[in-house]
Each structure stands twice: as C-alpha cells, then as structure tokens.
Structure 1
Amino acid sequence: MPLTGTFERSLDDKHRLALPKPFRDQILSDTETTLYAAPGNDRCIALYSAKSFQELADRLTKLSSAQSDVRNYLRMFYSQAECLEPDKQGRIRLPARLVAFAGLESQTTLVGVRDHAEIWETTRWESLLASHADEFDSLTTAAMQALEKQ
C-alpha cells in the first residue's frame, strides 16, 4: 500500500518524533518493526520500512561505481543512513547528523511519498508546496510521460 498523507509533528530537544498512527500502520507491521532514516532529496529526511530500504539498496547496487558522482552519492547516502526502532509510544529518535542535514527545528511535517515518508522542516515544506502548486498540471504531465518511457 502506498504511503500517503501529511502530518505536522513537533521534534523534541532529543530529536524524538512521534510517528502518526496512520503512518505506523502503513510503514510498520507485526513482523517488520524497524525503519531506516536516510538523507532525502531537497534536504529532507527519507524514512523507509526495512523492506523498502532493502528494495532501494537492491536497485542502487545496479549503479556503476566507476562514476565519481555515483560513488559520492552512495557514500553520502549510506554513511548518513541509520536503522531506527520506534519506542513504545511510536516515537523515533532521529540522528543529529540527519536533523542538521534537513535543517529540522521544532516543527516538522511528515509526508507520504509512495514507498517512503519524508520529514521536512515545516516552513520549507510549505514553501515547496507554494512554489509548485501552480505547476501541478505540468508536473502530472511530466510524470505520465516518464511512465510511458518505461
């Protein structure tokens, strides 16, 4: 089931973030209780289920490490990624390096993006929405054209 929805959450001073119940229900299961946090595009934190993270890792192994850009991406991505275990209250503790990478402060927004969630600093998320709202139709066209090429 694709991850969907938008939820505002506070990040406490220990970098703990309460996952909304709908997200927990979608991304975790009785047998899969770990998550992976990693640097995401546009300076957010990407949050993956263990299964989705493994699927991504499998796709990334197909990249040629002969290219400098690919090597640097893999270094940055994997060195910053971390396995997380939600506590009994459904909170995760985000690594300080990822909090700094994403510029997170106290107010965050979690968004579902099909196979993963993204954690954004709320004002940056609102700015991204505002800057792309008028482009939704052209973004839809570009996405559909990309699908047709596959």
Structure 2
Amino acid sequence: MAGLVGEYEVKMDAKGRFMFPSDLRKQLSPAAQENFMLNKGFEECLTLFPMNEWEKLSAKLSKLNLFKPQNRMFYRLFHQGAKQINLDKAGRILIPVAQMEKVGLKKELVLIAYNDRVEIWDKAKYFSMIEDNMADFADLANEVMGEFGDDTE
C-alpha cells in the first residue's frame, strides 16, 4: 500500500454508524477492506487502522522493552480502549458509545486518511483544530520538512 490519502465528510446515525466511503475502501488492500482496529488518537479523535496495518504496528510495538516503565505506560495508553471492528453488510462502521464519548463525536464527522490510518474527527472540532494551526503551518513545514534537506540534485 502506497499510503492512504483523502478527507471525507460523513454523517453518523443515531446508533453510531457511518458509511465507510467507497473511494477510501478502494485504497485498502483486498485483505484489509472489512476488518479494522479502532482506538483513541493522539488528539481529540479516534484512529482507525486497517487490520493488516495494525498487525504491522503491533509487531513493532512487541519489540519494546517492557522492563522500562515508560515503555509499559506507552503500551498501556496506546492500547487503552482499542477495539476490533468490522464493516457491516451495508458497508458501515459502528463506533462504540464509549469511544464516541471520549472524543466528543457528534453527527457530522470528518475522516482523514493518511499513511496507514484513518482519523475520525467530529467535524466542528477538526475544522477548529485546522484553523487554530494554519497560521503556524509554514513554520511547522520548515521544522518537519527541513529535516530532509535539499533533494534537487
């Protein structure tokens, strides 16, 4: 997989389900189009991993030295609330109530696909976060991308 990409606005129904976008589903490997791992993201969002990507990440994490307290704490915090979910026959994802409440998801959601994951945001919170950080985008780009140097040779 070259990496997931895209921003998708979806609506969640009263039961906590939303239709998984077909354009996003087409980007997934055939083996990962129905099974996912859902857990808390680093900001006020949830993170959805295709199961094959979750397994790769889990393999990396299994190499952590769990005799170090910070590694154990990271492992606990990262896996806290993680839940395997599947698309239903209609192509929807059901978000457990506890996870919805943790990040304050309402009816309108934004799915942000990048690299090996999809973040699930409440639409208002997502666009507020983007707006709050847009003024610093040039500095952030310089800080992050400056590490690569000039590759024009």
TM category, shorter? 0.7 to 0.9
In structure 2, list runs of 5 or more residues that go unmatched. Answer: none
Residue number in structure 2 paired with 1:70: 71
Q: 1:65 to 1:21 in 2, by over 3 A?
A: same
RMSD: 1.8
**What are the equivalent positions in structure 2 for 1:43-62 lying under 5 Å apart?**
43-62=44-63
How many residue pairs end up in the alignment?
147
Post-superposition offset of 1:72:
2.8
Counterpart residue type for residue 44 of structure 2: R
CA shift for structure 1 position 43: 2.0
Structure 1 unaligned regions, length at least 5: none
What percent identity do the matched residue pairs reach?
A: 25
Displacement of 1:65 in angstroms is: 2.3
Cα displacement (A) at 1:28: 5.0
Counterpart of 1:107 in structure 2 is 108
- In structure 2, the partner of 1:10 is 11
Equivalent-residue separation in structure 2 for 1:83 and 1:73 (angstroms): 20
With normalisation by structure 1, the TM-score equals 0.87
More helix, by proportion: 1
TM-score, structure 2 normalization: 0.86
Deviates more, 1:60-69 or 1:105-114: 60-69
The question of 1:141 aligning with 2:142 is answered: yes
Cα shift readout 1:42-75 (whole Å, capped 9, x = no counterpart):
0211011111101111222233323434323322
When structure 1 is superposed on structure 2, of 88-97 and 134-143 the one drifting more is 134-143
Counting only pairs closer than 5 Å after superposition, residues 117-128 of structure 1 correspond to structure 2 as 117-128=118-129
Output the CA distance in 2 between the equivalents of 1:126 and 1:134. Answer: 13
> How far, CA to CA, are the matches of 2:143 and 2:96 in structure 1?
35
How many angstroms apart in 1 are the aligned matches of 2:29 and 2:123?
Answer: 24
Q: Between 137-146 and 78-87, report the one with greater CA deviation.
A: 137-146
Deviation string for 1:68-98 (max 9, x for gaps)? 3432332233241111110122101112221
What's the counterpart of residue 129 of structure 1? 130
Corresponding residue of 1:21: 22
* Inter-CA distance 69–124: structure 2 relative to 1 (3 Å threshold): farther
